[in-house]
Structure 1
């Protein structure tokens, strides 16, 4: 014989029981899943988002939420590059996958665009500071370009 069927346990029509939190939620709080017998996801939207984030950290960076929180605590809740709070995105070396810290989305994306190259980052900083590509007058009519 097959497995015993689990009872619904007094869940009203149009609602589902979130087994993780033990709360009854309306169907609007569940993602659709056409392969499920009731047409709903196994987890409510809130639990799915939390678990999805945890699974992403483990799969992508090999860390837990607690391990992600450690650099944030060491940074005193402040972003390393831009000093406003709170940091939210894990920064890592693309070659090794090693986690460096936690940054805001914009700064993390910028480092990725700069390919984690310090030389390119320094040239970008010089450009932003207005020091890049300004020739230096060495002698009358002779200029030296920055290297």
Structure 2
């Protein structure tokens, strides 16, 4: 099969711009033996845009909207209609640019509106997403506990405790008690050792007479350093 006149040692001449370019700079085409088309990629893109504009004009009777001119390192926010630096946009791995469609203020507004529309508020969204329960189940569990923290008995606890291994909800705790089991890695053995440690190092009150207490020294410990 004779070689086409527009081919020359791994190069091809674009039918539109007339430039001799390497084959990898031409668009893919299954109709040719080398799987490369007759137009370089920039010229092919121009032809595609012109063809699309013609179809829109003939079928819908309108012109294609021109692309916005955005400076390098910027992105156009469709909500506030302004071009802003990329640093003003949240990260988004699903987008080809790596950034979200809306700037951070507009993104936050949309997120709050979505949570309000779908879940009735941010708290309901947080409970559903992280623990699989809603505010109704939260209040029912709190009522079963008598409205107090399940560990210390403090009033008005607001933190939902869960098993970090299975994800199951265990109870409602106050801020301080909620951090305790996690710090001890949900291990009863570590908590038991902590109790033994505190009993051996903390001063205790001993009842020596009705209404009379005496502070007993710990079995081990070190006196505080003298103050200078």
Q: TM-score range by the shorter chain?
A: 0.5 to 0.7
Instruction: Name which of 151, 158, 175 aligns with 1:81.
Output: 151
Higher RCO structure (Cα 8 Å, ≥6 apart): 1
How is 1:133-144 mapped onto 2 (pairs within 5 angstroms)?
Answer: none
Alignment-derived partner of residue 181 in structure 2: 111
The total of aligned residue pairs comes to 100
Q: What SS does the aligned partner of 2:137 have?
A: helix
User: Measured at CA, do residues 37 and 112 of structure 1 come closer, stay the same or move farther in structure 2, by a change above 3 Å?
Assistant: same
Q: TM-score, normalised by structure 2?
A: 0.38
Cα RMSD after superposing both structures = 2.9
Q: TM-score, normalised by structure 1?
A: 0.57
Instruction: Name which of 66, 73, 79 aligns with 1:37.
Output: 79
Unaligned runs of 5+ residues in structure 2 are 1-59, 61-75, 81-104, 203-218, 221-228
Alignment-derived partner of residue 200 in structure 2: 130
Alignment-derived partner of residue 99 in structure 1: 169
Unaligned runs of 5+ residues in structure 1 are 2-33, 136-147
The offset of 1:71, in angstroms, is 1.5
User: Measured at CA, do residues 128 and 53 of structure 1 come closer, stay the same or move farther in structure 2, by a change above 3 Å?
Assistant: same
Alignment-derived partner of residue 57 in structure 1: 127
Which structure is larger by alpha-carbon Rg, 1 or 2?
2
Alignment-derived partner of residue 4 in structure 1: none
